[in-house]
């Protein structure tokens, strides 16, 4: 009998695709991708491992290919074997063609005067001029507390393309595409521009409009590690994001 998808397989975890090599899930905000520090709380990984074991007596757990922060929701990919994991991770930049996010950032995006974030401009409500799109090209490093931040020297290259979807009520709804995949890249880049993700206390956000980090992994597209077929998985952003504006 064919699996009916999407299917809830645990609190905050929905299975949206599965074949013999890969699994795609929609991870809810507040759910860890994998355990940290030997903790016993349920994670996307542990729930998926239990699901596979119960369904087919499978002894080999799924393999983590990439991660989302605990408070970031959206689409995640897992491998079902070590071979598939290695193929994906060793060839990530070649196989993955798109990683798109949606977020609500604090402040209404003005025209940028610098900082590597320039792009096309347009008119907003009340005659205000806004950037419509651009590229944030800022290297990232770590501060003394281990937090990833934008740095002028000694960091790793990091590039985030963004598009303004709407600006209103002191917030900006953004679509973002990763050109590099550094840890906390979007959060660090937006904070460096003075527009932290709403609800992101780690990166100095001053508001928390829906009691969660307003960042969502909306889409991932990649070539299947076995046959090269282009796979697209998309999970729309929570409606609450748009309601903030």
Q: 69 catalytic, yes or no?
A: yes
Contact 108, 128 (CB under 8 A): yes
SS3 88: helix
- Catalytically annotated residue among 19, 69, 93, 143: 69
CA distance 14 to 73: 11
Q: Looking at 45-198, which runs of residues are DSSP E strands?
A: 63-64, 73-79, 96-106, 121-123, 129-131, 133-137, 140-142, 148-150, 159-168, 171-178
Positive or negative: CA dihedral 202, 205, 208, 212: negative
Enclosing H/E stretch for 192: helix 185-192
Tokens (6 digits) for 51: 């699901």
Can you tell me the distance from the alpha carbon of 10 to that of 69, in angstroms, rounded to the nearest whole number?
A: 18
Catalytic residues: 69
């Amino acid at each position: 009998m064919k699996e009916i998808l999407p299917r809830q397989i645990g609190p905050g975890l929905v299975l949206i695709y599965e074949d013999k090599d890969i699994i795609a899930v929609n991870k809810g905000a507040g759910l860890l991708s994998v355990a940290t520090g030997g903790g016993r709380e349920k994670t996307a990984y542990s729930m998926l491992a239990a699901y596979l074991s119960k369904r087919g007596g499978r002894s080999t757990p799924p393999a983590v290919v990439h991660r989302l922060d605990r408070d970031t929701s959206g689409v995640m990919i897992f491998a079902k074997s070590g071979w598939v994991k290695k193929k994906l991770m060793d060839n990530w930049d070649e196989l993955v063609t798109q990683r798109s996010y949606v977020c609500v950032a604090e402040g209404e995006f003005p025209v940028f005067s610098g900082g590597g974030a320039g792009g096309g401009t347009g008119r907003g409500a009340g005659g205000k001029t806004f950037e419509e799109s651009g590229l944030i090209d800022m290297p990232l490093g770590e501060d003394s507390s281990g937090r990833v931040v934008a740095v002028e020297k000694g960091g790793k290259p990091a590039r985030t393309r963004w598009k303004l979807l709407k600006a209103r009520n002191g917030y900006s709804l953004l679509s973002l595409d990763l050109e590099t995949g550094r840890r906390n890249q979007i959060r660090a880049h937006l904070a460096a521009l003075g527009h932290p993700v709403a609800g992101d206390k780690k990166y100095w956000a001053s508001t928390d409009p829906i009691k969660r980090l307003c960042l969502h992994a909306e889409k991932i597209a990649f070539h299947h590690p076995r046959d090269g077929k282009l796979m697209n998985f998309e999970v729309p952003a929570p409606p609450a994001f748009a309601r903030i504006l």
